[in-house]
Amino acid sequence: MQEAYVNINSIPTHILTWGRWIEETVTEKELVICITGNPGLPGFYTEFASTLQKQLGDLPVWVIGHAGHDDPPEASIREVPQLTGNEEIFNLDGQIKHKLAFIKKYVPKDVKIHLIGHSIGAWMILQMLEDESVRSRVQKCYMLFPTVERMIESPNGWVFTKLAMPLYSVFGYVFFKFFNALPVWLRLFLIQIYFLIFSIPRSFLDTALQYSKPSVAEKVVFLADDEMCRVRGLQKEIIERNLHLLKFYYGTTDGWVPVSYYEQLKKDYPQVDATLDGQKIDHAFVLRHSQPVAAIVREMIQQNLRN
């Protein structure tokens, strides 16, 4: 694995790669790019992406984080701009421009891309397909637990808008400021207790510590709030134009994407390539189910290789 913070649209962006670094000459005919969900910290995708690349063999696998969801190390001279006054950089439109800029800068035009979109990453991919210079490079899109419609109407959307956002508006920033004022050992201890309660692997400790920074948490919440406002009805025109490029994978226990969304999609588009999970994998699969999902995606990609 290689990683660094790379300037994309003037934002230091955390990039993780397996198989080939983004600044190396790409000699392969195809590669895989994973666009994260929210929070968009690549560290959560380490096991998934590394497992996937091992199973694929020669194909490079790259993971790009969302703008503002990861701060560079304290020793870095580069800083992520603050949220206030820069909302257009960190909202959905800004995140889409961010991903388009990354592809146009680092992926040669003759290399085909297998795009993986997790959760809101799937909705971003739909918007990215409107850019013909990127669409022409796409081999296939794999939409995992895709939040591409009616987020606010989902069970988790109700909890977020009615409970989580009001609480965050009153206590959130103060809580994260207080938490980050604690000694590192105490913060790690409290996170470990949380991980123990919810059966989350200890390997995510450093990423969770990064996520708890007030400057990161506020951008994560800001993007989630924008999702509630923007991700409403299914974008049928985009879906229809790109059916041959899209592969959907829905969960059966997903509080963000009820099974009824999958059923409606199949009803509206009988020819759509959509699958319903049979393993009761969580929406946030990267926390506990990275390996089985990597195996599922590997099979999808192998079915769509150019060769």
Q: Is 244 a catalytic residue?
A: no
Which amino acid is present at 175? Answer: F
Q: Which of 14, 66, 114, 119 is catalytic?
A: 119
Q: Is 98 a catalytic residue?
A: no
More confident residue, 232 or 74: 232
Contacts by 152-161, CB closer than 8 A, 24 or more apart: 152/228, 152/229, 152/231, 152/232, 154/255, 154/256, 154/257, 154/258, 155/255, 155/258, 156/255, 156/256, 156/283, 157/228, 157/256, 159/255, 160/224, 160/228, 161/228
Q: Which of 70, 254, 273, 277 is catalytic?
A: 254
Task: Encode pLDDT of 250-290 as tens digits.
Answer: 999 999 999 999 999 999 999 999 999 999 999 999 999 99
Task: Encode pLDDT of 136-188 as tens digits.
Answer: 999 999 999 999 999 999 999 999 999 999 988 878 778 888 888 899 999 99
Mean pLDDT score across all residues of the chain: 94
225: number of Cβ within 10 Å: 17
Domains contained in the chain, CATH given: 2-149+232-303 (3.40.50.1820)
Q: How far apart are the first and last CA of the chain?
A: 26
Measuring CA to CA, how many Å separate 136 from each of 42, 100, 104, 140?
Answer: 26, 13, 12, 11
Q: Which of 66, 69, 114, 283 is catalytic?
A: 283
Q: Is 71 a catalytic residue?
A: no
Checking if the pLDDT of 307 tops 70, the result is no
Task: Encode pLDDT of 73-88 as tens digits.
Answer: 876 778 899 999 999 9
pLDDT at res. 262: 98
- The answer to whether 95 and 124 are in contact (CB under 8 A) is yes
Distance from C-alpha of 144 to C-alpha of 156, rounded to nearest angstrom:
17
Which amino acid is present at 1? Answer: M
